[in-house]
Structure 1
């Protein structure tokens, strides 16, 4: 079954997420279930998600999904802007809504943490070897 495209490629928020995510060593983008997915050997971020409420899926079109550290995930889920995404939430993923007040440094840090959990030791070493380079996410 082919999933419909559920994003606008010209969306400036997606463009910002894309720039951050593709800055990681070996990162690439593919479409998965109608959403942009950023990956190396495994997916480390998705753009857009949903939650199931009373049997109906409510879309979070401008959000990023990351695989967070369990303690960080718990703290994030206590915030109004964060949600437990359908299907992926049970596997440790968390969704963060993005808007005009988004702290892009924080999003860069969350993408970095998710990348480190999924990318493998060689890519993480390549990331760490970027001498003097700021972590992706700068404003």
Structure 2
């Protein structure tokens, strides 16, 4: 059984996140488990998250889920905008809830790029470095 869509195609936060994520080398988008996900060989960002055990909640529907550097993770979770997402959290992923405060898109771009660097193959990271 396919997962129902858990996002609005016209969401302005999704539009901005797409702009950030799809600007990275070889980045693509697909729908997985009802959410837009951005990936190369592996996922590096997800639009929206669910609360583990409460899939009906839309509390984190407008957020980005990303894999931070381990050294950054503890500092990020101290900020009320960040949360540990269901299912991805035990693997070190965090979410940034766009509903808590209006997102700083430069910060979002830095977080998405960090996640990209933590998941992409080395040749893509070198391409990214050459772009910067």
Q: TM-score per shorter chain, which class? A: over 0.9
1:43 has 2:43 as partner: yes
The Cα of 1:73 is off from its aligned counterpart by 1.5
RMSD: 1.3
Q: Could you say which residue in structure 1 is the equivalent of 2:17?
A: 17
Q: Could you say which residue in structure 2 is the equivalent of 1:86?
A: 86
TM-score (norm. length: structure 1): 0.88
The secondary structure found in structure 2 opposite 1:25 is coil
The Cα of 1:5 is off from its aligned counterpart by 0.4
Q: Could you say which residue in structure 1 is the equivalent of 2:130?
A: 129
Q: For residues 96-136 of structure 1, what are the alpha-carbon distances to aligned partners after superposition, in whole Å with 9 as ceiling and x for unaligned?
A: 01146211111100001100011111000111111xx5xxx
Q: Could you say which residue in structure 2 is the equivalent of 1:110?
A: 111
CA distance in structure 1 between the partners assigned to 2:129 and 2:12 by the alignment = 29
TM-score (norm. length: structure 2): 0.92
In structure 1, list runs of 5 or more residues that go unmatched.
134-139
Q: Could you say which residue in structure 2 is the equivalent of 1:74?
A: 74
**Contact preservation (8 Å) 1:42, 1:119:** yes
Q: Normalized per residue, which structure has more strand?
A: 1
The secondary structure found in structure 1 opposite 2:102 is coil
CA distance in structure 2 between the partners assigned to 1:2 and 1:101 by the alignment = 32
Q: Could you say which residue in structure 1 is the equivalent of 2:54?
A: 56
Q: Could you say which residue in structure 2 is the equivalent of 1:30?
A: 30
In structure 2, list runs of 5 or more residues that go unmatched.
none
The Cα of 1:50 is off from its aligned counterpart by 1.8
CA distance in structure 1 between the partners assigned to 2:128 and 2:111 by the alignment = 15
CA distance in structure 2 between the partners assigned to 1:87 and 1:45 by the alignment = 14
